[in-house]
Structures are given as structure tokens and as C-alpha cells.
Structure 1
Amino acid sequence: MPAQADNETAEQRARQIVDQMMARDAFSRWLGIEVLEVTPGRAVVRMTVRPEMLNGFAVAHGGIAFALADSALAFASNTCGMVTMTLESSIFFATPVRAGDVLTATAEETSAGNRVALYDVVVTRADGTRVAFVRGTAYRTKQAHD
């Protein structure tokens, strides 16, 4: 039973950290991001693409899917309890995104050391189509979250 209690405490702490981050994250709120799931090393977020997010080709600007994935990565990486920042990330756009598309980004830790961790993020449309893939490296500072 103690291991289950530790897991519940870790999940509660992870959610508390992400809730605090969202409260201060005007950009993620402007995007309309909703946090669906948070567990240590993992975050799932969702948003709807709005018409003002389209580029001159009537598809979502690449920064939209990237920003959604980046927020998911930030939330997932900070669940470790230390203030964590992305060092680098790259994206592969698999298919265009349009206004009205509901996008979900799932970020998962794939490898972690004391200071550096690797995350994979998959962005999907509501129909399950994978629209973008992000890989990011995050740096864990020595500063604990409040």
C-alpha cells in the first residue's frame, strides 16, 4: 500500500505543479489549451485551432502545433518537481492542420538523468490522425517548484 500512496502523492504533486504553471502561462491560455492528464513524466493537453491561427495557405501556422507540443513538453518535464526548461526541440509535420481541428498533444519522458531528460510528443487530431511529432531535450535546474 505505501507504494500506491507514493504514486498518488507524486501524481497529486505533478498536477499541482502543472496547475500553477497554467495559472501563470498566458500564452497557453490564449491558445485555449486544456490540460487533460498529468502524471510524473507525462502530460496530455488539447486545443481547438481557430481561424486566426491559419497562415496564407489556409492551414494552421506550424507554430500552432509546435506551441501545443511545447506546452505539453513543458508540463511533462516539470512534473519531476524541479524547474525544467527545454534546451532544444525539433518537429516533423506529418499532415496539415485546419481551422476547427481539435488537437491533442501527448508528451512522455523517454529518458532521464539528474539534469537532462528526453521527451517525445505526438500531436493528433480528434480522428486519431497523427499530425506532428516533436522530440525535445529538457534541462532540470536545481530550483524546486514551490
Structure 2
Amino acid sequence: MRLFIGGACAGKRDLVANRFPAAAWCRAGEGAFPDSWRTRLAPGQCLVITGWLDGLAAALVDEPDDDRLRARLAAELEAMVEAERRGQGEVVLILPEVGRGIVPLDPADRRLRDLAGWLGQDAAARADEVWYVRHGLARCLTVV
């Protein structure tokens, strides 16, 4: 699994599109969150998953327990890694970096920010490569 993370309009999508021109794309907020990727992953194909903030926002409405939701997301990340190990395709995640800047006053917005940060940490811990993107430039933070 590869992870590309950075702020809004940092160039993540363009960078990934250039590196993986034949990839299929899906949004994490489409269908059943977060496991909508399962029907799109195919052997020999790269699947790029975007739209995490929308999916997280919707999931927060349905799940009041942050720890339970984080565990559910971590299980999905594990399933992605396992699917890659079994040769079912390659997964590329594009995640937003929302932890910089002003902390939101609204509790729901703070929950979203926190969960996005935890998702980033959990994805980075499982990814073979983590790329930080800023101003259209990417720096590889880790390669396993």
C-alpha cells in the first residue's frame, strides 16, 4: 500500500495520476464506508482511493464512539494490505492533512480532524511507502 498525504490543493491527485496513469479511482465516501474499495480492487490493477474526509464525516454521524470507528478503519487498512499480499491489486491512498492550522471550535469538526489524523497515522504505519506532498512536490518519508 502507498500513502500520499498533504494539505488541500497540495498536488496529491495530479502527482498520483501521473505516477499511476492506468489506475482506477474511487472515493472512500461512495457506497458502504469504508469498504467500498473491495468491489473495485482487481488483480494487476492499481486502485486509488480518495474522498476520505467526506466518508469520515458521514461515518462520524453514524458512529458516536471514536475508538470503535478508528478500530473499524484500521481493520479496513489491514484488509487492504492483506488483499495486496494475496495479489488482488495495489492500493494507493490519498489522504488529507488537516492537522495544521487552527483547531476548530465546533466539536464535530474537531472529531473529524482527530479521526483524519488517526487515519493518517494508522495508514502510515501499514504503508510500504509514505509520500508527503506540498506545493506539488513529493518527499518519500519511508519505504519498507
TM-score with structure 2 setting the length: 0.30
Structure with higher RCO (Cα < 8 A, 6+ apart): 2
Larger radius of gyration between Structure 1 and Structure 2: 1
TM-score with structure 1 setting the length: 0.29
